[in-house]
């Protein structure tokens, strides 16, 4: 174990914290950084080396994982005044697990390549629970020859590591899945609501959909209607799960990618607008299946 070379980890938030801990568990010496020093403290106690900046991390580790909230944070961590690129070593492997605009991933990959290092995008699916359990899914984009090196680290944190293609395709796969998920979830919510108003029992309707061509993950695994399934957010007042705010963010990325590639996404863009409106109507922190509740509210005078 002691022979393992250190791994840098930047961004120790809700997701990064359990991910980095899984690296520690697998015996990797971790070189940690977070913009909030208190986030690092726990890792100091676990024996990790805590640093002052992304540049410091790059100086001490030639494999670095970043897990940050959004594109501007990732840009800053890479290209900022004390960013990774200031001290990155030739041949380093830089893996970004943040969910960001694939165009930004490509832009950073070019900058990294100029320094003689390698960049891969590897966003995850699965939430905090999967991060803790170490069974995230990683969708990986980048040079294929480096995929095995990345996979070695990522399998410490995930049970499923999929090679998607060139840089940016990991992000693309993630935002595509989440866009279709949002569309199916809103579709399931409005369909269930319509059926109920037309006199159908919700459990029966779900059963019919699930044995028919309307079947989808949102109807058969994560049904948004309270009382239809157990163990899902709709059974628990839409707590836990995947927050509406995060879904709105991912749909914003899909929208930007679609706009830039001139791709028509009529339902994806409408789904984006609906989650946007929900965020402003008190649903920001509820699970995204709460769109059923949002649409369900009765008209009253």
Nearest to a copy of itself of 42, 146 (CB atom)? 146
Candidate residues 84, 108, 186, 246; the one interacting with a copy of itself per rule CB under 8 A: 186
Q: Which residues are annotated as a binding site for NAD(+)?
A: 5-33, 68-69, 73, 99, 249
C-alpha–C-alpha distance, residues 104 and 9, integer Å: 20
Nearest approach in angstroms of CB 293 to a copy of itself is 11
- Are the C-beta atoms of residues 156 and 109 closer than 8 Å to each other? no
Residues 109-128 that bind a copy of itself (CB under 8 A): 125
Position 151 contacts a copy of itself (CB under 8 A): no
Residues 270-289 that bind a copy of itself (CB under 8 A): 270-274, 276-277, 279-281, 284-285
| Residues with catalytic function | 174
Q: Which stretch binds a copy of itself (CB under 8 A): 19-27, 80-88, 113-121, 249-257?
A: 249-257
H or E segment to which residue 38 belongs: helix 38-45
Position 38 contacts a copy of itself (CB under 8 A): no
Residues 211-240 that bind a copy of itself (CB under 8 A): 211-219, 221-222
- How many residues lie near a copy of itself (CB under 8 A)? 88
- Are the C-beta atoms of residues 281 and 295 closer than 8 Å to each other? no
Q: What is the DSSP letter of 33?
A: E
Sign of CA dihedral 68, 69, 70, 73: negative
Q: What is the DSSP letter of 282?
A: I
Q: What is the DSSP letter of 243?
A: B
C-alpha–C-alpha distance, residues 63 and 194, integer Å: 52
Nearest to a copy of itself of 87, 160 (CB atom)? 160
Nearest to a copy of itself of 6, 170 (CB atom)? 170
Nearest to a copy of itself of 155, 245 (CB atom)? 245
C-alpha–C-alpha distance, residues 300 and 172, integer Å: 42
Candidate residues 168, 224, 226, 233; the one interacting with a copy of itself per rule CB under 8 A: 168
Let me know the angle formed at the C-alpha of 260 by 256 and 263, rounded to the nearest 5 degrees.
90
Residue 199: count other Cβ atoms within 10 Å of its Cβ: 6
Position 264 contacts a copy of itself (CB under 8 A): yes
Nearest approach in angstroms of CB 287 to a copy of itself is 12
Position 248 contacts a copy of itself (CB under 8 A): yes
C-alpha–C-alpha distance, residues 140 and 35, integer Å: 25
Candidate residues 57, 68, 172, 290; the one interacting with a copy of itself per rule CB under 8 A: 172
C-alpha–C-alpha distance, residues 28 and 17, integer Å: 15
């Amino acid at each position: 174990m002691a022979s393992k070379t250190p791994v840098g980890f930047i961004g120790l938030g809700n997701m990064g914290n359990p991910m980095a801990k899984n690296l520690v568990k697998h015996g990797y010496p971790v070189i940690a950084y977070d913009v909030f020093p208190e986030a690092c403290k726990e890792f100091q106690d676990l024996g990790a080396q805590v640093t002052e900046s992304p540049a410091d991390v790059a100086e001490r580790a030639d494999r670095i994982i970043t897990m940050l909230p959004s594109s501007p944070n990732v840009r800053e961590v890479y290209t900022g005044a004390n960013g990774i690129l200031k001290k990155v070593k030739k041949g380093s492997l830089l893996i970004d697990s943040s969910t960001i605009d694939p165009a930004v991933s490509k832009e950073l990959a070019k900058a990294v390549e100029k320094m003689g290092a390698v960049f891969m995008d590897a966003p995850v699916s699965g939430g905090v629970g999967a991060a803790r359990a170490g069974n995230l899914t990683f969708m990986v984009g980048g040079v294929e020859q480096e995929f095995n090196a990345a996979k070695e680290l990522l399998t410490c944190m995930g049970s499923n590591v999929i090679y998607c293609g060139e840089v940016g395709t990991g992000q693309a796969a993630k935002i595509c899945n989440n866009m279709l998920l949002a569309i199916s979830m809103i579709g399931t919510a409005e369909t269930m609501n319509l059926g109920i108003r037309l006199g159908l029992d919700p459990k029966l309707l779900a059963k019919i959909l699930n044995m028919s061509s309307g079947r989808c993950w949102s109807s058969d695994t994560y049904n948004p209607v309270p009382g239809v399934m157990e163990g899902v957010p709709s059974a628990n007042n839409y707590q836990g799960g995947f927050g509406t705010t995060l879904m709105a963010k991912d749909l914003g990325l899909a929208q930007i990618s679609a706009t830039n590639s001139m791709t028509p996404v009529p339902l994806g863009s409408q789904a984006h607008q609906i989650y946007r409106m929900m965020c402003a109507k008190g649903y920001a922190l509820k699970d995204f299946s709460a769109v059923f509740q949002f649409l369900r509210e009765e008209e009253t005078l």
